[in-house]
Amino acid sequence: MKKFAIVVAGGKGLRMGGDIPKQFRLISGRPVLMHTLEVFYKYDPEIELILVLPEDHQAYWKELCAQYRFSIKHNIVTGGETRFHSVKNGLDTLPKEGLVAIHDGVRPLVAQDVICTAFEEAKRSEAVIPVIEMTDSLRELTSDGKSKSVVRNLYRGVQTPQVFSTVLLKKAYQQPFCKQFTDDASVVEATGKEVTLIKGNPENIKITTPQDLLLAEMLLSHV
């Protein structure tokens, strides 16, 4: 079955500070986004990679590819107003049959065994997301402005890649945009489809702050 990976990199990196978006910041001597694409290529050199970028980031990305001699084949698709619309733009370029992973461009530390397990499980269940156990205590904010503790064992942190049947995900993304769609699983679940959970890897952090960059640098040095 044909495999695809849509890597979404539409963020402007406002929490990172400075003018360079977070997906273009350097870790281990190369932009974050190159590490992210490379991990999927190492998992399967035949996977079809689709990179979703804002139109005004594309020329800069091509300059970076030339500068760092980045030669992994990928197709560039223009992003949309929200993550939902960016993913939809990527999906519109794919055929109906296959399996597709949707991954955050600023998660360069996903483990290859997580990618492999997600694709294998998606062959059976059609909708798979990696999650990790919560280690911090959690509190729920209540409508009266107060808060209450919750049982953290009942909660999981959600990661990417989230892997789906291409047919299923294309159908799900025909729904109108809703602000409750925070990831691809929430879009799929709105159709009534149940999502299967697999174990993610704790190192698979989403880089959003300068501290995250330092942590990613450290983690990559031990890979």
Domains and CATH numbers, the chain: 3-220 (3.90.550.10)
Are the CB atoms for 1 and 98 separated by under 8 Å? yes
Q: For residues 78 and 56, what is the distance between their CA atoms, to the nearest angstrom?
A: 9
Q: Which of 14-18, 81-85, 106-110 has the lowest mean pLDDT?
A: 14-18
Are the CB atoms for 39 and 108 separated by under 8 Å? yes
Q: For residues 4 and 25, what is the distance between their CA atoms, to the nearest angstrom?
A: 25
pLDDT tens for each residue of 170-217: 999 999 999 999 999 999 999 999 999 999 999 999 999 999 999 999
Q: Of 127, 124, 115, whose CA–CA distance to 195 is shortest?
A: 127
Given this model, what pLDDT does residue 14 score? 46
> Is the predicted pLDDT of residue 98 greater than 70, yes or no?
yes
Identify the residue with better confidence: 72 or 223. Answer: 72
DSSP designation for 97: S
Identify the residue with better confidence: 222 or 14. Answer: 222
> Is the predicted pLDDT of residue 84 greater than 60, yes or no?
yes
Q: What is the mean pLDDT of the chain?
A: 94
Helix (H, G, I), strand (E, B) or coil at 222: coil
Are the CB atoms for 221 and 110 separated by under 8 Å? no
pLDDT tens for each residue of 31-57: 999 999 999 999 999 999 999 999 999
Q: For residues 64 and 142, what is the distance between their CA atoms, to the nearest angstrom?
A: 46
- Rounded mean pLDDT of 97-103? 97
pLDDT tens for each residue of 150-163: 999 999 999 999 99
When pLDDT is cut at 50, 70 and 90, the band that residue 15 belongs to is very low
Place of tokens 């998992």: 43
